Amino acid sequence: MVAKSTALAARNGLLIRNRTAFENARKITTLVFDKTGTLTVGQFAVARYGSLTNEFTENDILRMAYALEQSSEHPIATGIVSKAKELGLPAGQAGKITAITGKGITAELDGATIAVVSPNALSNPPEKIRAGETLVYVLRNDSPVGFIALSDQIRPESAEAIRTLHTQGIKTVLLTGDNKVVAEDVARTLGMDQFFAEVLPHEKLEKIAQLQKAGEFVAMTGDGVNDAPALAKADVGIAVGSGSDVAAETADIILVNSNPQDVASLVLFGKATYKKMIQNLAWATGYNIIAMPLAAGVLAGAGILLSPAAGAVLMSISTIVVAINAGMLKIKS
């Protein structure tokens, strides 16, 4: 039954790397989602950008960020690079590039230290964040000189996935390193139960642990390197197929099609598999409770005796019924 279920799951966009985790999908009470690349498409586009000082133009700000981000594969970096290339800006050569975990990147450029960071790296961010935008700041020698706002689209399947999970009594939580305005907007749009914003990678793991300590059976869905510790900590770790190799290696289950609706299908399928196992167990047990005593002659005195030939026929019928019942198992999406 489990082997058949695993094969069906693979045909429906789920790659099972940990069979025990798959069997435990029916126990999930809280499903935690990363935002970028999981509930959203993960393809950032520059919506607006500007300078915070008269010393630099808007394009100067974009050029600085371009120099730092041109070698990065992060979705935000990809959006910045795409915009800079569209405008034909020169690709400067930055040196001593260093990643700041959960906050951004810093490097040496044109004789100064330049950084591209998230708002949580600043004590008092000068630009107001708008709903639906992800904002980064460009710093020169630790002083903010400009900003770049990018937008990402929610996956069309995300809302239906959240609704399906809610019908199963499963709470949904958004866990993201993005700013509070964006997180609140996405969580509200999708109708999620809770959100945590501006969370650093190690804090994601801590949030998972807190939910588990509160008695929740937690599944985590994410796609990035920063999600790997949380995926490993969760009772069921689910990686988006289009995400990083590190996330995929850490997770128990991989969404081959990167479709959040497949997460809901996983839960439904896990419950359906368990239901079929119970049904088949009940049928097999019932057959043995009735047929074996009859074959042993318990009611022979009353003229009721099950012959070996009849027993063999009934055994075959029992096997056929169990096989047909298992064969009716399908993933509902």
Catalytic residues: 34
Q: How many CA atoms lie within 13 A of 104 on its CB side?
A: 22
Q: Please calculate the CA angle 153-154-157 and round it to the nearest 5 degrees.
A: 135
d(CA 91, CA 112): 16
CB burial of 306-327 (b: ≥16 within 10 Å; e: otherwise) equals beeeeeeebeeebeeebeeebe
Task: Determine the distance from the C-alpha atom of residue 70 to the mean position of all C-alpha atoms in its chain, rounded to a whole number.
Answer: 27
Q: Which long-range contacts (CB under 8 A, 24 or more apart) does 119-125 make?
A: 119/179, 119/198, 120/179, 120/198
Q: Which residue has the tokens 């839960």?
A: 267
- Residues written for the chain: 333
CA distance 190 to 158: 7
**CB of 267 within 8 A of CB of 26?**
yes
